[in-house]
Amino acid sequence: MVEKVYAKLKKEFDLPDFDFLNKEFEIATIEPDGFLLREIKRKIKDRLNYASDILNKIIQPETAALSDLYEYRCFDDEDKQKIFELFSRILYLSRKIVESEFLLDEKKDAEIIKEVAEKWPDIRKEMIPFVKSLEACWQEIPSSDHGLKEYLG
C-alpha cells in the first residue's frame, strides 16, 4: 500500500526510488495516513540520529558509561576531527528535518528527502571505518590498562 501512495508522490516531486529509500531507511513499514512524506522524514531522522549518537559518544563520552570512556581512548585527535566533521554533516541534515516539521510544507519535505537520499550513501560509507574501530577497540583489552583498573576499583 505504501509503495502505491509513494509512487504518486514520487512522480509529483521527483523523489528517489522507493526501493532505494526502503533499503536505506526501511520505509515499507510505514502506514500511509495522508502524511507519507512526513513519516518518511521521521524514518530518515531516526537513522540520522542513530548515526549521530554513535559519533557523539566518541567525541563527547558520557562519563558514567564505561564503554564510552573506553572507546573514546581508541581514537586519536585526527580521527576525532574527522568524526566531528561527519557528525556535523549528519546533524545539519537532522536539523533541516526538524525545521521542515514546523514548516508543514510538502514541497520542503520532498526537498529534504531528496537531499538526504543524495548524501546518505556517502555518510553511511564514512561511518563504517569508525564503527569498525569501535569493534576493534573491544577485540583486545590490555590486561595492563591501569586507568581501567582504577575506574573499576
Tell me the percentage of the chain whose pLDDT exceeds 70.
Answer: 92
pLDDT band with cut points at 50, 70 and 90 for residue 67: confident
In whole angstroms, what is the distance from residue 95 CA to residue 45 CA?
9
| Closest to 69 (Cα-Cα) out of 142, 128, 151, 127 | 151
Q: What is the pLDDT of residues 9-59, one digit of tens each?
A: 999 999 999 999 999 999 999 998 889 999 999 999 999 999 999 999 999
In whole angstroms, what is the distance from residue 137 CA to residue 92 CA?
28
Q: What is the pLDDT of residues 124-144, one digit of tens each?
A: 999 999 999 999 999 876 665
On the CB side of 36, CA atoms within 13 Å amount to 21
The total number of structural domains in the chain stands at: 1
Identify the domain containing residue 40 by its residue range. 2-152
Note whether 66 and 105 are within 8 A (CB).
Answer: no
Instruction: Give the 3-state secondary structure of residue 126.
Output: helix
- pLDDT value for 62: 84
Place of cell 502505491: 4
Q: How far is CA 89 from the centre of its chain?
A: 10
| Closest to 51 (Cα-Cα) out of 133, 131, 138 | 131
pTM of the model: 0.87
